[in-house]
A = this chain, B = another copy of it.
Amino acid sequence: MSGAWHPGDRVPAEHELMVEFDCSRMTVNRALSALADAGFVERRRRAGTVVARPRRQMAAIEIPDIEAQVEAAGARYRLETLSVDRIDGAAAPAVARLEGAAEVLAIVCRHHGDGVFALEERWINLDAVPRAAGVDFGRVAPGRWLLDYVPWTEGDYRIAAVAADPRLTVPADTPCLSFERWTSRGGQTITYVRQVFPGGFALTAGGSG
């Protein structure tokens, strides 16, 4: 972190650090493995450990659900559900990647804080989450419900700037942030959501390189 070691520099071998720090090889290995996981060094058998050449920037972002975002901004949250429909999987838009699903729940809602905070269009795979059919999404936001009740293992995200959607009731020339997310578990898509935020929001993140 001080920058004293430069990318490509050789890090002493485990047995040398073991002597230098008077500890066992297991302890050295755990430390170096942690550095390797964090991307600070690269390790290869026989070749040894070298300071990593940062090739890309990595960051861990934390995505609070919308209700938490609104409340963090000091406003009171209100959900307005525009429609909830049970449709055939083939009727879902292709972008949702839900072609294989027999039944899909299609939800459109608005999140309000101090004004309209976000528009959300969501498709839930009822084959993967049958319980969702019995939930009153007029009262609980789909994102919150899924977060609480449906574990997931893979997520894909896409962030882009788009023009305002008329359903946001903001001036048509307001630049908006589009946040898309595909959530799946074991290769099966659980839900696809597209959220549109007027103006944007902050993603706090950390990282190193």
Contact = CB atoms under 8 A, between A and B. Distances in A.
A50 interface: no
Query: What is the oligomeric copy number?
Result: 2
Given A160-B199, A160-B201, A54 B151 contact: yes
Given A56-B62, A186-B2, A203 B161 contact: no
A173 interface: yes
B205 A156 contact: yes
Interface residues on A, range: 35 or more
B65 A56 contact: yes
A94 interface: no
A202 interface: yes
A200 interface: yes
Contacts of A175: 161-163, 175-176
A205 B155 contact: yes
A54 B62 CA distance: 12
A159 B206 contact: no
Contacts of A177: 159-161, 177
A206 B155 contact: yes
Contact of A208 (B64, B155, B198, B209): B155
A175 B7 CA distance: 38
Contacts of A59: 60-61, 63, 155, 157
The 7 closest A-B pairs by CB, nearest first: A160-B200, A161-B175, A57-B63, A175-B175, A161-B177, A161-B161, A155-B207
